[in-house]
Amino acid sequence: MYTPDDQRIVPLLVPYDTDGYDVPPLPYMPYAHYIERVPMLSETTFAPTPSTIVQAIPSLPVQEQPSPVRPKRRRRWILPALAALLLLIIGGSMFPLVSYLNRSTPEKTLKTFCTALEKETYQLAYDQLTTNLQAQLTETDFANSLAADKIIQCTYGSTSEAAAMTKTSLKLVHMQQHFVNNDIVTLTKQPDSIWRISDLAVAS
Query: Can you tell me the mean pLDDT for 96-123?
Result: 92
The pLDDT of residue 12 is: 45
Domain coordinates in residue numbering, the chain: 106-202
Gap between the Cα atoms of 106 and 158, Å rounded: 9
119 in Cβ contact with 194 (< 8 Å)? no
| pLDDT of 172 higher than 70 | yes
Q: Which tops the pLDDT comparison, 19 or 128?
A: 128
What is the pTM assigned to this prediction?
Answer: 0.56
Q: From residue 199, how far is each of 103, 145, 180 by CA, in Å?
A: 22, 16, 19
The pLDDT of residue 42 is: 53
The pLDDT of residue 60 is: 58
- Average pLDDT along the chain: 77
The pLDDT of residue 195 is: 98
What is the CA 119 to chain-centroid distance, rounded? 52
CATH architecture of 106-202: Roll (3.10)
Residue 202: which residues within 8 A CB-CB, separation 6 or more? Answer: 181, 182, 183, 184
- Mapping DSSP to helix (H, G, I), strand (E, B) and coil, where does residue 39 land? coil
